[in-house]
Amino acid sequence: MMKKLLLVLSIVLFSINLFANKEQYNYLELRYKSEEDNVPTYWSFSEEEAPSEGELEAILAEFIKSNDDFSYKVVKTETDELGFEHKLYKQHYKKYPIEFGELRVHVKNGKIFSMNGTISDKAPKDNLLSLSESEALKMALEYIDAKVYKWEVEAEESLLRAQMGENATYFPEGELTFISKDATVNHEALKLAYKFNIYAHEPMSRSEIYIDASDGSVVFKNSLIHTGNTQGTAVTGYSGTRTITADSVSPSNFRLRQTASGNGIYTYNMQQGTTYANAIDFTDSDNYWNNANANLDEYATDAHWGAEQTYEYFSTKHNRNSINNNGFALVSYVHFASNFANAFWDGQRMTYGDGAGALSPFTALDIVAHEIAHGLTTFSANLIYQSEPGALNESFSDIFGAAVEAYARPNNKNWTIGEDIGFSLRSMANPNLYGDPDTRGGNNWRNVNGCIPSQQNNNCGVHINSGVPNYWFYLLVSGGSGTNDLGNPYSVTSIGMDKAAAIAFRNLTVYLGRNSDFDDARFYSIKAAVDLYGACSPEVASVTDAWHAVGVGNAYVPGVIADFETADTLGCQPPYQVQFENNSSNGLDFFWDFGDGQTSTMRRPSHIYNSFGNFDVKLVIDGDSCGVDSIIKQSYISIDTSNLCAITMQDGQTQSINDCSGAVFDTGGNSFQYLDNENAVVVVEPQNAASVTLTFNQFDVESGSSGTICDYDYLEIFDGNSINAPSLGKFCNNNLPPSTITSSGGAITLQFYSDQALTRDGFNIGWQCTYPTAAPVVDFESSSDSTCTGEVQFTDLSTEAPSSWVWDFGDGRSSNVQNPTHKYDVNGVYNVSLIATNLIGSDTIVKQGKIIVSKPSAPAFTDDTFCVNQNATLNAMASGTARWYADKYSNTVLSTGNSFSIGQLNQDTSFWVEDYISSPSTYFGPTNSIGNGSYWSVDFYLEFVVYKQMLLESVFMIPNSAGFRTVELRDTNNNVLKTKGFNIPNTNPYQANLDMIIPAGHYRLAVQGASPANNVPDLFVNTSGVSYPYTEPGLVSITGSNAGSSYYGYFYYWKVKEPNCLSERAEVFAFLDTSCTLTSIKDNTLNEKEGISIFPNPSKNVLNVKFEKSNTFNKMFVTDMTGKVILEQGIDVNAAKTVRLTTTSLSNGVYFISFEGNEQLVRKKFIVVK
């Protein structure tokens, strides 16, 4: 089976990783974050096989369950200089968006060349909507707990309306969305939540708050404040005298506004206040901005000039019209608050404080560019502000802060951030200098695993761990060598600022998404380098080596590498099909030589060998500028009768295998994934075998919905030669099989099932049988030695694996089934014998007086007489419930009750009646009041002994919530004998009706274990007051639990009873009274004189009735063989001579049609055949 391309690649660049799928699409590359994921995070296609954009949902349907409930909406489209359209799709479940469910589709000329992102593959598990929007908002505001909010400041609301339109407001409007606490799209973690954008005025903060729509808890918080047209001349505070563009209000009045760049650049004076509406313009009388003063106004021109230079940089170097590529106005507010030593982007503008103490205003060029770059991130990847995504968010701002500084002040460029304000915040060239890491997992690294974001831990190290990608960028620009904190040597060749920044820019704006981490940044920066500079280029090598230097991924492996494999190397006879998997790196053209005179130029060929032999296989790949490589595998394919023949399961079939050894593959074979909607069975039953052992060589079957439940795709193993044999387990990826499974006898059955969506690699299972070494030693047991029903289940206990059985039940009947069920009809004491045989010999056992049948006496009854086509009423006097049957051995109950009425008889007819006597039920076992306890979700069972066959009718369970749980009856080896699932309501206690007939023996009653994260109800367990045994005398005793003698749980107050009794059957007659005066019923051939014919006969959907003589009948009706009236229709005596009767509702069989009128009755027989 082909394996998925994992997150950390050992080689880069279009490594040709092709995988078994449903064969609708040929993928050049699929990338998964982990082996457990069902949906890739990256897809790519070759130019010649790229699908159309209209096929997007068909592609996703190959990976996503319940695809009809998901939809994808384009929320943004951008075009780059390479001619690609980059479309951002938002995933929705039903009508609600999935917060981090995003897909970036990269299209050229209407064809999808690649796409990447994270989307959910299954329906969110928690979609309960209990709260109103106003209730959720109240809880969100209680969580923020601010003194004043922006919408409560009328001046701020007025300013927003002036800037954004008359309907604009800061008041939060709730949006329902699905989100998880861990920023994933895992369906089990997703919760329906209200999303609010809350801007607090005092104390200042702005965050997206997500409130669980079911219980009001805070699911997630995303901080939105990221801390971090006349030519004029400005004497800036940090960058000397610079040319700026200002707005000329009059010849002697200029202000720091301009509209030449996008939708404008505006710089305002907050006057050390915190209300944006109170900000005023910076003004100058002659447009020579030499405005140094005690208010530090000279630093305002740094903010204005810095914004102009940042806009110009992105426009010139990256062809981007402002941060949103649509001219977004760059608005700066200077002199924010008093002694405010920070700067921030709040989602709509930049704000700069004047510093405090020795720190001067935060308007230095690299800081300005840093804050504006946060806006670029908001309008592109929109990285969440926590953990590694947040560190990337900060790093990209540092990267473009350094890039803008190099662009606008090439003579004063450097690798420190904020050095102009009197204190360097970070060093990109030496992150350790300021306590930041330069290696993932190295010195100063802030661990993000299990970290809960907060202000105290810097949102899990966003400003700290940014040192890692910062150092990556420094090495990419400048080059360097050494040994990192992990002890790995590295060497990086410089590619310069422009190329490095172009790669970083494309990575951020084209590929990365909201929860991208460092591994994603590595992978997609390599893709960006390939896009811009080509495969195997020096730029690709440097990008890869720089990531290796900072502890993310392996070093670059240069050139072309030819490699291939197949799982189909051994065949037992021709024709033999082999699917080759191409694992080469950086190849563009391919040439295969299969060693039998045939060749191919396909990337991933399938080839059929038509003769016996050993075959060399050669692959030559041409990577253009990357080079050429080839590989030969000697005698790689062997087709010989001595090779083991493997079988592939076939959908819709039951295959029987008699070989002692072999291998079985899922329906996809050894090279492909299995398909949807399949049900296949294989029975391995080698002749005369003692046992069969399955060995699981490979197993990959879609996980079930929760816990250890396999309810989507699964493989179930049965201990016998059919799916009716005892189950040895149902397996999938969240309930993996053991390494081996051995049958108790000479047969084992495998059933594979797949549902309507999501497929995986499947399985490769070997089997090996053993043969008996001695003749059988015979023994057997029965479900009961004494029965009042006559029904007994016999179980063979013979050793040495017999292959045939002969039972003699002592009543003149026999069976050759291994474990037969037999029904005795007559009371008595019966000897039972069994002969068991294997290939060594036979053995016999006779158990004298083994079965005692003591059925109650048949009920007393009375016969009845009847006239033709009239009812007969038969009566019985049962002490329980009378059951009526058509014959002595029938299992079909015609009627119940002491009186049985039957009509439309035309001859003497007998029926059979029995007395069904229900045993009384009794309750036993404790309630949960015996002591203290708690709720458990783990696999827990009670051990109990059944002294004689009984019916376990029900138990009480005490859940803590609603959900699905499965109850299992197991033997003492934990083999599952019977199961029953329950959708438990939020009811305490809950009575679970089991209705399990259990023979005498030792058992365990269990509930399948489940993880607490899977939202199944936990069940109550007493941890004190327990006193075993709990007994119903003579019938059953609960003796202990798997947790020990101090624990009792899951199953309370058992309702049990002995089996119900059935009497012998008595024959009761209905006699025809020939003295009645009605016309006798005749067959069709005897009724011609009546002048009625029916056709066609047999009939399908219509029966025509033709009256040859004058019609005197006014009604006709159809009865079945028991006399029950099925159809009835009136007849108009004055109508046409032909009447149509619709028989569509009748099933195949024999029926009678009767005609009634003028004191006459005529009946004819007809047949329905569909």
pLDDT computed for residue 12 by the predictor? 30
- Domain(s) labelled CATH 2.60.40.3080 in the chain stretch across 1079-1168
CATH hierarchy code of domain 564-639:
2.60.40.10
pLDDT computed for residue 10 by the predictor? 29
State whether residue 624 is helix, strand or coil: helix
Considering the chain, what is the average pLDDT of its residues?
A: 88
The rounded distance, in Å, linking the Cα atoms of 76 and 509 is 12
Burial (CB count <10 Å: 0-12, 13-18, 19+), residue 466: buried
The domain defined by 226-379 folds into Elastase; domain 1 (3.10.170)
pLDDT tens-digit series, residues 104-136: 999 999 999 999 999 998 888 777 888 999 999
pLDDT computed for residue 1076 by the predictor? 56
The H-or-E segment that residue 1053 falls in is strand 1052-1057
The domain defined by 1079-1168 folds into Immunoglobulin-like (2.60.40)
Secondary structure of 994-1028 as H, E, C letters: EEEEECCEEEEEEECCCCHHHCCCCEEEECCCCCC
User: Which DSSP string corresponds to 349-371?
Assistant: -EEEE---TT---S--HHHHHHH
Q: How confident is the model at residue 19 (pLDDT cuts 50, 70, 90)?
A: very low
pLDDT tens-digit series, residues 312-323: 999 999 999 999
pLDDT computed for residue 13 by the predictor? 30
pLDDT computed for residue 789 by the predictor? 85
CA distances 818 to 721, 780, 803, 928, Å, are: 11, 10, 9, 43
- Other Cβ atoms less than 10 A from the Cβ of 533: the count is 18
State what percent of residues in the chain have pLDDT above 90.
58
pLDDT computed for residue 25 by the predictor? 77
The residues pairing with 1130 across neighbouring beta strands, listed in sequence order, are 1115
Is the predicted pLDDT of residue 1158 greater than 80, yes or no?
no
- Domain(s) labelled CATH 2.60.120.820 in the chain stretch across 922-1059
The domain defined by 29-118 folds into Nuclear Transport Factor 2; Chain: A, (3.10.450)
- Other Cβ atoms less than 10 A from the Cβ of 759: the count is 26
Is the predicted pLDDT of residue 7 greater than 60, yes or no?
no
CATH hierarchy code of domain 922-1059:
2.60.120.820
State the pairing for strand pair 85-93/70-79. Answer: antiparallel
- Domain(s) labelled CATH 2.60.40.10 in the chain stretch across 564-639, 780-853
CATH hierarchy code of domain 780-853:
2.60.40.10
pLDDT tens-digit series, residues 424-480: 889 999 999 999 999 999 999 999 988 888 888 889 999 999 999 999 999 999 999
> What are the residue numbers of the active site?
371, 463
CA distances 575 to 592, 593, 594, 810, Å, are: 19, 18, 14, 55
pLDDT computed for residue 717 by the predictor? 95
Structure tokens at 307: 């914004």
pLDDT tens-digit series, residues 382-429: 999 999 999 999 999 999 999 999 999 999 999 999 999 988 889 999
Is the predicted pLDDT of residue 923 greater than 90, yes or no?
yes
Q: CA 752, 753, 759: angle at the middle one, nearest 5?
A: 105
Structure tokens at 548: 């290796």
State what percent of residues in the chain have pLDDT above 70.
94
pLDDT computed for residue 1087 by the predictor? 40
- Domain(s) labelled CATH 3.10.450 in the chain stretch across 29-118
Is the predicted pLDDT of residue 1 greater than 60, yes or no?
no
pLDDT computed for residue 230 by the predictor? 59
The rounded distance, in Å, linking the Cα atoms of 13 and 186 is 29
pLDDT tens-digit series, residues 363-378: 999 999 999 999 999 9
pLDDT computed for residue 227 by the predictor? 66
Structure tokens at 460: 């899990």
| Range in 564-578, 618-632, 643-657, 1069-1083 the model is least confident about | 1069-1083
State whether residue 836 is helix, strand or coil: strand
Which residue from 656, 662, 642, 669 is spatially nearest to 571, judged by alpha carbons? 642
CATH hierarchy code of domain 646-770:
2.60.120.290
The rounded distance, in Å, linking the Cα atoms of 266 and 1120 is 92
CA distances 839 to 658, 689, 774, Å, are: 15, 9, 9
pLDDT tens-digit series, residues 674-732: 988 899 999 999 988 999 999 999 999 998 876 677 888 999 999 999 988 888 989 99
